[in-house]
Structure 1
Amino acid sequence: MPLAQLLHRLLLLILLCTGSAWALNPDELLPPERAFAARLEQQGQTLLLHLDVAQGYYLYRDRIQLTPQPAASVSVPKLPAGESKNDPYFGRQQVFHRGLTLTLPINGTLPPDFTLKTVVQGCADAGLCYPPLTRTLKVGDGMASNPWLDSSPSQSTAPALARGQLATTLAAFFVAGLAMAFTACMYPLLPIVSSLIAGHGHRLSKRRGFGLSLAYVQGLALTYTAVGVAAGLTGSLLTVWLQQPAVILAAAALMVLLALGMFDVISIQLPAALQSRLAASSNRLSGGHVATVFGMGALSALLVGPCIAPPLAIALGYIGQTGDALLGGSALYAMALGLGLPLLVVGTFGGHVLPRAGQWMNAVKFAFGFVMLAVAIWMAGPFLPTPLTMLLWGALALGIAWKLARVSGKGLAARLGKALALLFVLAGLLQLVGAATGAPSPRLPWAGIWHGNQLPKAVFSRVASNAELDAALARARAAGQPVLLDFYADWCVSCIEMEETTFRDPAVRRRMDKMLLLQADVTANNAEQQALLKRFGLYGPPGIMLYDTSGRQTAQVIGYQDAATFTRSLDAANLG
Structure 2
Amino acid sequence: MKKIATTLFGFLFLFTAFISAQDIITWDFSLEDAGNGEVNIIAKASVQQGWYMYDTKIPDGGPNPTMIEFDKTTGAEAVGEFQSVDKKATVKHDEIFGMEIGTFTGSTTFAQRLKITDKVGFSIEGNVRAQACNDQTCTPPLPVDFSFAASDLPASVTVAGNTSTGESTLLSTPAETEVPADTTEETIAPDTPVSLTSTDREQLWSPVIEELNALGADDHADASLWSIFLKGLLWGFAALITPCVWPMIPITVSFFLNRNKKSRRKAIQDATIYGLSIIIIYVTLGLIITAIFGAAALNNIATSPVFNLIFFALLITFAFSFMGAFEIVLPSSWTNKMDSKVDSTTGIISLFFMAFTLALVSFSCTGPIIGWLLVDAATQGNFLAPALGMFGFAFALAIPFTLFAIFPSWLKTLPKSGSWLNAVKVVLGFIVLAVSLKFLSVADLSGGWGILNRDIFLSLWIVIFALLGLYLLGKIKLHGDSDLSHVPLFRLFLAILSFAFTIYLVPGLWGAPLKPISSIVPPLSTQDFKLAHNPMNQVFDDYETGMAYAAQTGKPVLLEFGGHGCVNCHKMDATVLADDRVRELIDEEFVFIVLMVDERTRLPETIEVDENGRTSKLRTVGDKWSYLQRHKFGTQSQPFYVVLNHQGKPLSPSHAYDESVDNYVEFLQTGLKNFRK
Structure 2 length-normalised TM:
0.44
Query: CA 1:368 to 1:283, structure 2 compared with 1: closer, same or farther past 3 Å?
Result: same
What is aligned with 2:463? 395
Q: Give, in angstroms, the shift of residue 244 of structure 1.
A: 4.1
What is aligned with 2:395? 337
More off after superposition, 237-246 vs 267-276 = 237-246
* Contact in 1 for aligned 2:249/2:400 (Cα 8 Å): no
How do residues 461-540 of structure 1 correspond to structure 2 at under 5 angstroms? Answer: 488-489=537-538, 525-529=549-553, 531-532=554-555
Query: CA 1:152 to 1:304, structure 2 compared with 1: closer, same or farther past 3 Å?
Result: farther
Partner of 2:222: helix, strand, or coil?
Answer: coil
How do residues 112-151 of structure 1 correspond to structure 2 at under 5 angstroms? Answer: 115-117=173-175, 146-147=207-208
Q: Give, in angstroms, the shift of residue 180 of structure 1.
A: 0.5
Query: CA 1:294 to 1:488, structure 2 compared with 1: closer, same or farther past 3 Å?
Result: same
Q: Tell me the distance in 2 between the aligned counterparts of 1:193 and 1:398.
A: 39
What is aligned with 1:303? 361
Q: Tell me the distance in 2 between the aligned counterparts of 1:442 and 1:324.
A: 24
Q: Give, in angstroms, the shift of residue 415 of structure 1.
A: 5.0
The Cα offsets for residues 422-469 of structure 1, whole Å up to 9 and x where unpaired, read as: 3345357668899xxxxxx89599975x87xx9xx99xxxxxxxxxxx
Partner of 2:315: helix, strand, or coil?
Answer: helix
* Contact in 2 for aligned 1:430/1:446 (Cα 8 Å): no
* Contact in 2 for aligned 1:220/1:336 (Cα 8 Å): yes
Q: Tell me the distance in 2 between the aligned counterparts of 1:325 and 1:415.
A: 42
* Contact in 1 for aligned 2:550/2:556 (Cα 8 Å): no
What is aligned with 2:493? 416
Query: CA 1:332 to 1:526, structure 2 compared with 1: closer, same or farther past 3 Å?
Result: closer
Q: Tell me the distance in 2 between the aligned counterparts of 1:133 and 1:293.
A: 64
2:237 to 152, 159, 178: 178
2:330 to 260, 266, 270: 270
Query: CA 1:487 to 1:105, structure 2 compared with 1: closer, same or farther past 3 Å?
Result: farther
**Which AA in structure 2 matches 1:249?**
L
1:293 to 341, 351, 357: 351
2:503 to 417, 426, 429: 426
The Cα offsets for residues 352-393 of structure 1, whole Å up to 9 and x where unpaired, read as: 243433565445434432332222212223242546545433
Structure having the higher helix fraction is 1
* Contact in 2 for aligned 1:398/1:428 (Cα 8 Å): no
Q: Tell me the distance in 2 between the aligned counterparts of 1:390 and 1:263.
A: 22
Partner of 1:268: helix, strand, or coil?
Answer: strand
2:305 to 204, 229, 245: 245
Q: Give, in angstroms, the shift of residue 115 of structure 1.
A: 4.7
Query: CA 1:183 to 1:414, structure 2 compared with 1: closer, same or farther past 3 Å?
Result: closer
Query: CA 1:445 to 1:491, structure 2 compared with 1: closer, same or farther past 3 Å?
Result: closer
Partner of 1:294: helix, strand, or coil?
Answer: helix
Q: Give, in angstroms, the shift of residue 395 of structure 1.
A: 2.5
Query: CA 1:533 to 1:229, structure 2 compared with 1: closer, same or farther past 3 Å?
Result: same
Q: Tell me the distance in 2 between the aligned counterparts of 1:106 and 1:155.
A: 48
**Which AA in structure 2 matches 1:527?**
A
Partner of 1:184: helix, strand, or coil?
Answer: coil
The Cα offsets for residues 43-99 of structure 1, whole Å up to 9 and x where unpaired, read as: xxxxxxxxxxxxxxxxxxxxxxx9xxxxx9x99989999xxxxxxxxxxxxxxxxxx
Q: Tell me the distance in 2 between the aligned counterparts of 1:275 and 1:375.
A: 30
**Which AA in structure 2 matches 1:169?**
I
- Residue ranges of structure 2 left out of the alignment (5+ in a row): 1-70, 72-120, 131-141, 151-170, 178-189, 476-483, 512-521, 562-572, 593-677
What is aligned with 2:17? none
Query: CA 1:248 to 1:413, structure 2 compared with 1: closer, same or farther past 3 Å?
Result: same
Partner of 2:175: helix, strand, or coil?
Answer: strand
* Contact in 1 for aligned 2:256/2:405 (Cα 8 Å): no
The Cα offsets for residues 93-126 of structure 1, whole Å up to 9 and x where unpaired, read as: xxxxxxx999999999xxxx9753399xxxxxxx
Query: CA 1:277 to 1:410, structure 2 compared with 1: closer, same or farther past 3 Å?
Result: closer
Query: CA 1:252 to 1:307, structure 2 compared with 1: closer, same or farther past 3 Å?
Result: same
Q: Give, in angstroms, the shift of residue 311 of structure 1.
A: 0.5
Q: Tell me the distance in 1 between the aligned counterparts of 2:195 and 2:344.
A: 64
Q: Tell me the distance in 2 between the aligned counterparts of 1:146 and 1:106.
A: 33
The Cα offsets for residues 319-367 of structure 1, whole Å up to 9 and x where unpaired, read as: 3334544443333133112112221133222232434335654454344
What is aligned with 2:106? none
**Which AA in structure 1 matches 2:464?**
L
2:280 to 222, 233, 243: 222
Partner of 2:327: helix, strand, or coil?
Answer: coil
**Which AA in structure 2 matches 1:416?**
F
* Contact in 2 for aligned 1:231/1:319 (Cα 8 Å): no
The Cα offsets for residues 262-319 of structure 1, whole Å up to 9 and x where unpaired, read as: 3232212212333333333334445xx4443234223432232343111111112123
**Which AA in structure 2 matches 1:266?**
F
Q: Give, in angstroms, the shift of residue 231 of structure 1.
A: 2.2
Q: Tell me the distance in 2 between the aligned counterparts of 1:417 and 1:544.
A: 32
The Cα offsets for residues 474-526 of structure 1, whole Å up to 9 and x where unpaired, read as: xxxxxxxxxxxx96227589xxxxxxxxxxxxxxxxxxxxxxxxxxxx89724
* Contact in 1 for aligned 2:225/2:388 (Cα 8 Å): no
What is aligned with 1:380? 440
* Contact in 2 for aligned 1:490/1:523 (Cα 8 Å): no
Query: CA 1:395 to 1:229, structure 2 compared with 1: closer, same or farther past 3 Å?
Result: same
Partner of 1:265: helix, strand, or coil?
Answer: coil
* Contact in 1 for aligned 2:302/2:375 (Cα 8 Å): no
Q: Tell me the distance in 2 between the aligned counterparts of 1:377 and 1:338.
A: 27
**Which AA in structure 2 matches 1:489?**
Q
What is aligned with 1:204? 263
**Which AA in structure 2 matches 1:488?**
N
What is aligned with 1:505? none
Q: Tell me the distance in 2 between the aligned counterparts of 1:321 and 1:116.
A: 25
What is aligned with 2:54? none
Q: Tell me the distance in 2 between the aligned counterparts of 1:335 and 1:198.
A: 28
Q: Tell me the distance in 2 between the aligned counterparts of 1:393 and 1:359.
A: 26
Q: Tell me the distance in 1 between the aligned counterparts of 2:223 and 2:124.
A: 38
**Which AA in structure 2 matches 1:396?**
I
Q: Tell me the distance in 2 between the aligned counterparts of 1:155 and 1:107.
A: 49
* Contact in 2 for aligned 1:193/1:343 (Cα 8 Å): yes
2:329 paired with 1:261: no
Partner of 1:370: helix, strand, or coil?
Answer: helix
* Contact in 1 for aligned 2:257/2:405 (Cα 8 Å): yes
**Which AA in structure 2 matches 1:228?**
G
* Contact in 2 for aligned 1:216/1:296 (Cα 8 Å): yes
Q: Tell me the distance in 1 between the aligned counterparts of 2:399 and 2:206.
A: 48
Partner of 1:417: helix, strand, or coil?
Answer: helix
What is aligned with 2:601? none
* Contact in 1 for aligned 2:240/2:397 (Cα 8 Å): yes
Aligned residue-pair number: 377
Partner of 1:307: helix, strand, or coil?
Answer: helix
Structure 1 length-normalised TM:
0.50
* Contact in 2 for aligned 1:285/1:296 (Cα 8 Å): no
Q: Tell me the distance in 1 between the aligned counterparts of 2:452 and 2:227.
A: 36
* Contact in 1 for aligned 2:465/2:501 (Cα 8 Å): yes
Query: CA 1:190 to 1:523, structure 2 compared with 1: closer, same or farther past 3 Å?
Result: same
Query: CA 1:79 to 1:276, structure 2 compared with 1: closer, same or farther past 3 Å?
Result: closer
Query: CA 1:270 to 1:539, structure 2 compared with 1: closer, same or farther past 3 Å?
Result: closer
How do residues 290-369 of structure 1 correspond to structure 2 at under 5 angstroms? Answer: 290-350=348-408, 351-358=411-418, 361-362=421-422, 364-369=424-429
Higher relative contact order (CA 8 A, sep 6+): 1
Q: Give, in angstroms, the shift of residue 254 of structure 1.
A: 1.1
Q: Tell me the distance in 2 between the aligned counterparts of 1:308 and 1:343.
A: 17
Partner of 2:326: helix, strand, or coil?
Answer: coil
Q: Tell me the distance in 2 between the aligned counterparts of 1:338 and 1:253.
A: 28
Q: Tell me the distance in 2 between the aligned counterparts of 1:210 and 1:132.
A: 69
